[in-house]
Amino acid sequence: SLVECLRHFTYNYICYVSDIPKPEKWSQIESKYQNVKYIECVYSDKNELQRTGIEHARHVILLSWMLEKSNHPDSGILQIIQMIEQYYPNVPYTIELEDENNLKYMSKASEANKLPLNCNSKYAAGKV
């Protein structure tokens, strides 16, 4: 799981934010790992994002997804990236993109050209 992978790098709090209710399996994750929280949030709402404490995050990892009734890869993540860049410009983030052409929609897209050679071109970070 993502939480298990992250635990190899940090023992800071890991807050998993999702727009769906907490799955039953999450209780197993919480019992296995310390400092892990699940937060349900409406991504497109600035106040909901603020409620997650995003402005205090050491780093944000965003996984790609497609909005319902959309045929545009990464359509779900692009809106959130724009909100983070606008309202939380000091919060470092890493994103997964299904289509690397979507980098052009990010204001920090120019930083993608500075990615280390060992980075997959499908991934870009707000602060490298």
If one counts the domains in the chain, the total is 1
Q: Which domain holds residue 50?
A: 2-125
Q: Could you count the other beta carbons within 10 Å of the beta carbon of residue 53?
A: 13
CA distance 104 to 26: 35
Per-residue pLDDT of 49-101, as tens digits, reads 899 999 999 998 888 888 888 888 888 888 888 888 899 989 888 888 888 78
Per-residue pLDDT of 100-110, as tens digits, reads 788 777 776 54
Contact 97, 122 (CB under 8 A): yes
Pair of tokens at residue 125: 């970070």
- pLDDT: which is higher, 10 or 123: 10
- Helix, strand and coil content of the chain, in percent to the nearest 5, comes to 35, 15, 50
**Amino acid, single-letter form, for residue 116:** P
CA distance 128 to 123: 11
Task: Provide the 3-class DSSP secondary structure of residue 76.
Answer: helix
User: Can you give the CATH number for the domain in which 67 is found?
Assistant: 3.40.50.720
